[in-house]
């Protein structure tokens, strides 16, 4: 148990430069507190208890602003930064070394039974306000951009942005000392809509130049016709 607590604390130091001391982390990180609450609730839930785990989950939500259903499966190394408004559904599965920012939802899309929430792979970063909805997998080492709404499968080593979310980059993961490094640069994402607008603007500029050239040619031809008639 104590080894697990030490790992949880170390995860915060690894991924949050604002963390200054162990005491600060123990007292001031709701993402850490909710994980500990969830571990207790999840163990009880797996043993067939329903009401008590839900009560523990609700208490954790009141204290932290983060809601994790007791049925959700959470891997080692989860880091929930700030965390206010994070919601993780009952059948969600989260791999190792996942990072969630505030306002993230791992939810379903309807009233279907069974597996209805996403499976998140290892070393995934889901940025502020992103919604991942439905029963599909987000591949290892992927990033979901802020405010994106993801409704379908995400391949490994991908970057997804937009509404609905679209894969805009597929890269391999970086390695450090033989371990997978979690890429937290979720602010450095492509802008496919902006690029499309820039392409349209370039096309419009070419058309405008061509229209001006054609008008010049017509004017020259008209002047020649007038001179010939005179």
Q: What are phi and psi of 45, to 5 degrees?
A: -65, -40
Domain check: are 90 and 137 in the same one? yes
pTM tops 0.75? no
Q: What is the CATH number of the domain that holds 77?
A: 2.160.10.10
Question: Does one domain contain both 167 and 214?
Answer: no
Domains: count for the chain: 2
73 shares a domain with 27: yes
Residues 140 and 223 in one domain: no
Each of the 230 residues of the chain gets a pLDDT tens digit; together they read: 778 888 999 999 999 889 999 999 999 999 999 999 999 999 999 999 999 999 999 999 999 999 999 999 999 999 999 889 999 999 999 999 999 999 999 998 877 788 999 999 999 999 999 999 999 999 999 999 999 999 999 999 999 998 888 888 876 544 344 444 555 565 555 666 667 787 888 889 888 888 888 888 887 776 666 566 65
Clarify whether residues 216 and 165 are in a common domain.
Answer: no
121 in the same domain as 58: yes
Domain holding 208, by residue range, is: 191-230
Confirm if 119 and 147 have CB atoms less than 8 A apart. Answer: no
Phi, psi of 88 (to 5 degrees): -125, 120
The closest alpha carbon to 84, from 11, 31, 25, belongs to: 31
C-beta separation of 122 from 181 below 8 A: no
Residues 159 and 201 placed together within one structural domain of the fold: no
Are both 112 and 26 inside the same structural domain?
yes
Q: Which tokens is 101 given? A: 């920012």
């Amino acid at each position: 148990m104590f080894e697990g607590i030490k790992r949880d604390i170390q995860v915060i130091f690894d991924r949050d430069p604002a963390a200054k001391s162990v005491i600060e982390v123990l007292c001031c990180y709701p993402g850490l507190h909710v994980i500990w609450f969830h571990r207790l609730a999840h163990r009880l839930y797996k043993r067939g208890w329903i009401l008590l785990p839900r009560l523990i989950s609700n208490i954790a939500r009141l204290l932290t602003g983060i809601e994790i259903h007791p049925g959700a499966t959470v891997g080692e190394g989860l880091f929930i930064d700030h965390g206010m408004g994070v919601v993780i559904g009952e059948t969600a599965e989260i791999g190792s070394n996942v990072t969630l920012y505030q306002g993230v939802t791992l939810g379903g899309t309807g009233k279907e039974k069974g597996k209805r929430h996403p499976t998140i792979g290892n070393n995934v970063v889901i940025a502020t306000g992103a919604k991942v909805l439905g029963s599909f997998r987000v591949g290892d080492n992927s990033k979901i951009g802020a405010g994106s709404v993801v409704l379908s499968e995400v391949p490994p080593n991908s970057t997804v942005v937009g509404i609905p979310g679209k894969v805009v980059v597929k890269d391999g993961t970086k390695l450090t000392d033989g371990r997978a490094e979690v890429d937290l640069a979720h602010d450095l994402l492509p802008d496919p809509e902006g690029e499309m607008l820039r392409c349209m603007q370039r096309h419009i500029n070419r058309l405008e130049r061509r229209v001006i050239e054609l008008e010049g040619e017509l004017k020259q031809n008209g002047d020649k016709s007038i001179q010939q008639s005179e």
